[in-house]
Homo-oligomer: A and B are copies of this chain.
Amino acid sequence: MVGALDALFKPRSVALVGASANPSKLGNVVLRNLLHGRFKIYPVNPRESEILGLPCYRSVLDIEGPVDLALVSVPAQSALAPVRECVKKGVDVAIVTSSGFRESGPAGAELERSLVEAVQGSKTRLLGPNTMGVFVPSRRLDTLLIPKDKSRRPRRGGIAMLSQSGAISVSFLERAAASGLGVSACVGLGNKADIEENNLIEYLGDDPATRCIALYLESFADGAGFLTAAGRISADKPIVLLKAGRTAAGSHAASSHTGAIASSSDALIDDVLRQAGVARAYDEEELIDIAKALSLTGSIRGDRICVVASAGGYGVVAADYVESKERGAGLRMAQLSPETRSELEKVIPEFSSTSNPVDLTAGVTDAMYDAVLGLLQRDPGVDGIMMSLELQPPNVTSKLVEITERRAISEGAPIVVSAFGGERTSALIRVLERRGVLAYPTIWRAVRALQALAERGAYLKRRKTRSEDPR
């Protein structure tokens, strides 16, 4: 499978069956997205001789050179013949993008079976049907069905995204682009008639560009296989999963979306995922929030959090979220050492609190933030720092961005920033994000990130203990 998947992630040649000269057609949008790729591109359409300056082929069989990847972008009813031709041509991977297969009822399921039969026993593997295809920025490979001006793509980076929903992967990419987060690859799984998540997880496990894997799944192709694949990889690369269809209503909805079939109970899934070291997200925002934390910061060594804020109210809300098990992260508020507290007393305002949360009050200055973060990072009783950043205090300047960046990348307890407010605050978060500082627009999302980092730390510790245990 790995050989075939190389063709999916780094093809040298791509054919587009259903290429169109009409700018309003999907077959034209996709061709334009492919044009700047680092591979040969062959448009296929029996009714055209040239599209966008490229010679057009009647069929993949008419292409002289080898074809690593073929995109079959024709209606469901017409997809079988070109897939058969792909098999005959010896194409490594055929991606069928159209819907109207298993998710649409018995007739579509029959069509899907015929696609699978067509590739069975051949060297050709099938991605989809019912998928947006693949996006690999390092190769400029972009088969997504949406023009770039309608949906921004992110830069190259360490997060791989696998998704059973095209829309969720596209909005994931948009959010990543907006946050300056980089992506190694994004693959739409569609109906998973052949290639499924486990094949891809195994492949990405060995991909040096991928540091973290984010998954949106409505069903497991093979639950045991997933746990094996995830368990093998998650020692090196964190995995975060949004498993939708966790209620009766959701799993009913999933069956008409991607033909997914409900599996085990949700609580059981929870338990098993934890054992395999897979972080769990419950929605589209948490998925990218956690992927961001795991790819940028990795883990924290324990669950003792120190909160620092210039606004006492945010300190209180943060403390509640750190500690509460029911509505919160179930972490612990760190006990600061007597040394840290007496050092804090020297730098923070007179009426401020040196216990946790550390309250810097509206009298805060840039230098105070710098000194306090440094002291907290060095306290051995602090595993992670949650910094609630407010722009309103009069002596806070734009230098705080550099200070926060320097502290965030320095030795000592990792820092997660939270900043809630209007447009100026949103702009601050974007600046911090682009500098690689873990920053979120609400207290809860920052605490949730710390929770994911603490769980990752605990998992890595368990794993180390197990491998050192002689029994």
- Chain A residues packing against B (C-beta within 8 Å): 24, 26, 29, 99-100, 103-105, 108, 145-146, 150-152, 163-168, 170-171, 174-175, 177-178, 216, 218, 242, 244-250, 252-254, 256-258, 282-285, 307, 310-317, 319-324, 327-328, 333, 350-351, 353, 355-357, 359, 361-362, 390-392, 394, 420-426, 441-444
| Contact of A444 (CB < 8 Å), options: B246, B257, B283, B314 | B283
A175, closest chain B residue (CB): B422
> Is there an interface contact between A150 and B422, defined as CB atoms closer than 8 Å?
no
> Is there an interface contact between A421 and B253, defined as CB atoms closer than 8 Å?
no
> Is there an interface contact between B444 and A327, defined as CB atoms closer than 8 Å?
no
10 A-B pairs with C-beta separation under 8 A = A151-B391, A171-B425, A174-B423, A175-B420, A175-B421, A175-B422, A244-B320, A250-B324, A257-B312, A283-B317
Most chain B CB inside 10 Å of its own CB: which residue of A146, A177, A178, A351:
A351
> Is there an interface contact between A245 and B420, defined as CB atoms closer than 8 Å?
no
Which residues of the partner chain B approach A24 to less than 8 Å between Cβ atoms?
Answer: 394
> Is there an interface contact between A249 and B319, defined as CB atoms closer than 8 Å?
yes
Known: A145-B362, A163-B313, A247-B320; 6 extra A-B contacts, CB below 8 A, are A103-B312, A166-B313, A247-B328, A256-B355, A256-B359, A257-B316
> Is there an interface contact between B324 and A247, defined as CB atoms closer than 8 Å?
yes
| Contact of A313 (CB < 8 Å), options: B218, B316, B420, B426 | B218
Say how far A29's CB is from chain B's closest CB, in angstroms: 8
> Is there an interface contact between A170 and B392, defined as CB atoms closer than 8 Å?
yes
With contacts A146-B392, A150-B392, A444-B285 taken as known, whether A248 is within 8 angstroms of B313 at the C-beta atoms is: no
A356–B425 Cα distance when bound, in Å, is 38
Which residues of the partner chain B approach A333 to less than 8 Å between Cβ atoms?
Answer: 249
> Is there an interface contact between A323 and B248, defined as CB atoms closer than 8 Å?
yes
> Is there an interface contact between B443 and A316, defined as CB atoms closer than 8 Å?
no
> Is there an interface contact between A422 and B177, defined as CB atoms closer than 8 Å?
yes
A123–B307 Cα distance when bound, in Å, is 42
> Is there an interface contact between A327 and B282, defined as CB atoms closer than 8 Å?
yes
With contacts A285-B444, A315-B253, A319-B252 taken as known, whether A425 is within 8 angstroms of B174 at the C-beta atoms is: yes
A108–B391 Cα distance when bound, in Å, is 27
Say how far A317's CB is from chain B's closest CB, in angstroms: 5
Which residues of the partner chain B approach A443 to less than 8 Å between Cβ atoms?
Answer: 283-284
A312, closest chain B residue (CB): B257
A244–B313 Cα distance when bound, in Å, is 8
| Contact of A357 (CB < 8 Å), options: B253, B258, B307, B320 | B253
A99, closest chain B residue (CB): B351
A441–B285 Cα distance when bound, in Å, is 9
A250, closest chain B residue (CB): B320
| Contact of A253 (CB < 8 Å), options: B245, B312, B391 | B312
> Is there an interface contact between B249 and A320, defined as CB atoms closer than 8 Å?
yes
A320–B353 Cα distance when bound, in Å, is 42
Say how far A193's CB is from chain B's closest CB, in angstroms: 16
A147, closest chain B residue (CB): B394
A321, closest chain B residue (CB): B283
**Which 7 A/B pairs are nearest by Cβ-Cβ distance?**
A165-B313, A167-B311, A174-B422, A257-B312, A250-B320, A104-B351, A249-B319
A144, closest chain B residue (CB): B392
With contacts A247-B324, A285-B444 taken as known, whether A314 is within 8 angstroms of B151 at the C-beta atoms is: no
Which residues of the partner chain B approach A257 to less than 8 Å between Cβ atoms?
Answer: 312-313, 315-316, 353, 359
Say how far A318's CB is from chain B's closest CB, in angstroms: 8
With contacts A312-B257, A351-B104, A390-B167 taken as known, whether A317 is within 8 angstroms of B244 at the C-beta atoms is: yes
A391, closest chain B residue (CB): B150
| Contact of A249 (CB < 8 Å), options: B171, B252, B322 | B322
